[in-house]
Amino acid sequence: MRTRYVAIGAVLMIGVGCGLVDGQPTFVPLPAPVGSGYGLAQGVSADGTKVAGTCCDCVGYSNQYATQWTVCNGTATGQALSDPYTEETFAEAISDDGSTVVGATAFPEGFYIPCRWINGTRQNLDTEPENGNWGHGQGVSADGSVAVGMNGMMYGSYGFIWQNHVLSPIEGTFRATDVSGDGGIVIGMGGVACNGFYWTPATGLMPIGTLPGGLTVDPWAISSDGTVIVGEASTAEFYSRPFLYRFATGEVQDLLAGTTDAGSAYGVSDRGDVVVGSMPGADGWPRATQWTTTTGMRDLNELYDDAIPEGWILREARDVSPDGRFIVGGGINPEGQDEAWMLILPDVCDAADLDADGDVDVGDYLLLEGCLGGPSGGTRSGCLTGDLDVDFDVDLEDFAALQRCAGGSSEAIHAR
């Protein structure tokens, strides 16, 4: 199975922020930094070096606490963003540049305040919360300057946008869940029909729409480039399905069309190329999923079984980087504990250097040409690395991927 990702002639190397790992899918456990126990990764930076989530020392009976991991050379180091034994905090998202984490902090009086951490230092976004307030930061722009979430009383909450150090309600909403990288498009739930929306200062609230015959859509994420939205939608038969909405078409797409399966989508790359989430497995328990335009919906546990250590079960994928290479979420480790994790996927342009000579050129094309087998022909012996889009054949889609990376014999791999 591992031969699927071995390069012809040499092992490729891909850059991962502060270090290098070999050019194969790489699994990185994200252990709780304090004690042992529950962990869930909720967000990842664009370069994959910073991850945010929430942990709990279940053995030492700590509070839940916001956590930030730094990933380098295929290993992770975690930092608690608050004292686990005196404060309760949650981390829900991280900016693309890795500088800002958003979430919530709890107070002894029983209320929650939306907050953000800038390079580890907390700032409360609501400076005058009411007793009984129920607030969470849930999304953040690429540079950390804009945050969105929900605030107010538990049964009278509103979606908010925080920018220029001012928290402002978004009229007619009860929750904002994410914001585009430039801070210009907010998504959430609200409106007259209490349904999914997107919002800009120019348009105000705009309905996303529903699946044919469905009642609701619950948007969870918008791509950093602001082109697509994903989340959970109901069908006419009342199944909960992962959906993808493209601004270019205005249509809500059922990512499990033609099946009776249920599921959710929690994260999406730019252009909607990669969607991550979860759906029930054969045993009824959640399984982390990845959807692409070429492969459809796949179980991450099966798709990357050669990279995932024995004994791990990936339960849910919560976020994916804008380029689709870094996926984070939560699962069960070999000791049976809930633990956060990260998957690092090879850059397609590194994989396209089939002859491992440092560029993508005619030599790589000739190798790929000898492997072309068509969408139903599978892959020929020795051609597994030519399957650049990982859809289990070598066809014109892989040739198109190689063309996008080609730069000539004297140019770097990533030249386009």
Give how far Cα 100 sits from Cα of 41, 76, 116, 181, Å.
15, 18, 7, 13
Distance CA 237, CA 256 (A): 13
Distance CA 242, CA 250 (A): 16
For the question of whether the overall pTM of this predicted structure is more than 0.75, the answer is yes
In order of start, what are the domains of the chain with their CATH numbers?
1-15+348-416 (1.10.1330.10), 16-347 (2.120.10.30)
| Residue 8 confidence (pLDDT) | 21
The one-letter code for the residue type at 354 is L
| Residue 208 confidence (pLDDT) | 95
In the chain, count H helices and then E strands. Answer: 4, 30
| Residue 48 confidence (pLDDT) | 96
Residue 69: exposure state from Cβ atoms within 10 A (0-12, 13-18, ≥19): buried
| Residue 407 confidence (pLDDT) | 65
DSSP state of 9: S
Token pair of 222, please? 């918008």
Q: Buried b / exposed e across 281-298, counting CB within 10 Å, b at 16+? A: beeeebbbbbbbebeebb
| Residue 349 confidence (pLDDT) | 76
Tens of each residue's pLDDT in the chain, 416 residues: 222 222 222 222 333 445 445 567 999 999 999 877 789 999 999 999 999 999 998 766 678 999 999 999 889 999 999 998 889 999 999 999 999 999 999 987 778 999 999 989 999 998 888 777 889 999 999 999 999 999 987 677 899 999 999 999 999 999 999 999 999 999 999 976 779 999 999 999 999 999 998 989 999 999 999 999 999 999 888 889 999 999 999 999 999 998 889 999 999 999 999 999 999 999 999 999 999 988 899 999 999 999 999 999 999 999 999 999 999 999 999 999 999 999 999 877 777 888 878 788 888 888 888 887 655 555 555 666 677 766 667 888 778 878 878 864 433 333 32
